[in-house]
């Protein structure tokens, strides 16, 4: 009779171990990543603040897997669904508006974007004809 009670306990233990494994896979995605899109502005405008803003790509992935992506000076927010070497970025807000309203205003659908792990400190953003290499940014110490 006591063996029946071991089955739910073993199942709970298995689920907790799987959960730890999943969170470990996602942990290396958390942080701030930055890169630049090449060829988006004319050469003579590269040092212009507007040109810098248009080229810069920055993504911050939080421990709860929410993200903020700034691409071409425009903010995207949503949730990252990650495995050990790939992430899908599902956008919920674009420029501070719910995605449905932003899509209606833009006249098109904003599709999920992909991240691919290249190394511990480098990822690649892949989205409709755009491939951008992003480097992990070091956390500033508060000392």
Could you identify the residue written with the tokens 């060829």? 39
Task: Check pLDDT > 90 for residue 121.
Answer: yes
Helix (H, G, I), strand (E, B) or coil at 52: helix
The sign of the torsion formed by the CA atoms of 13, 15, 17, 20 equals: negative
CB atoms closer than 10 angstroms to residue 15: 10
CB atoms closer than 10 angstroms to residue 132: 20
User: Which domains, ranges and CATH numbers included, belong to the chain?
Assistant: 3-136 (2.40.128)
| 70-111: pLDDT as tens digits | 998 899 999 999 998 999 999 999 988 888 887 787 777 888
Average pLDDT of the chain is 79
CB atoms closer than 10 angstroms to residue 29: 24
Q: Tell me, yes or no, if the pTM score tops 0.85.
A: no
């Amino acid at each position: 009779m006591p063996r029946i009670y071991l089955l739910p306990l073993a199942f709970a233990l298995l689920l907790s171990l799987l959960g730890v494994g999943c969170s470990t896979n996602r942990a290396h995605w958390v942080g701030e990543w930055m890169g630049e899109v090449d060829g988006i502005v004319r050469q003579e405008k590269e040092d212009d603040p507007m040109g810098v803003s248009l080229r810069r790509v920055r993504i911050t992935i939080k421990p709860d897997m929410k993200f903020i992506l700034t691409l071409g000076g425009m903010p995207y927010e949503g949730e990252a669904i990650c495995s050990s070497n790939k992430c899908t970025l599902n956008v919920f807000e674009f420029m501070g508006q719910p995605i449905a309203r932003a899509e209606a205003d833009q006249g098109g659908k904003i599709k999920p974007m992909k991240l691919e792990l290249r190394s511990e400190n480098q990822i690649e953003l892949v989205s409709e004809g755009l491939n951008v290499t992003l480097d992990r940014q070091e956390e500033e110490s508060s000392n």
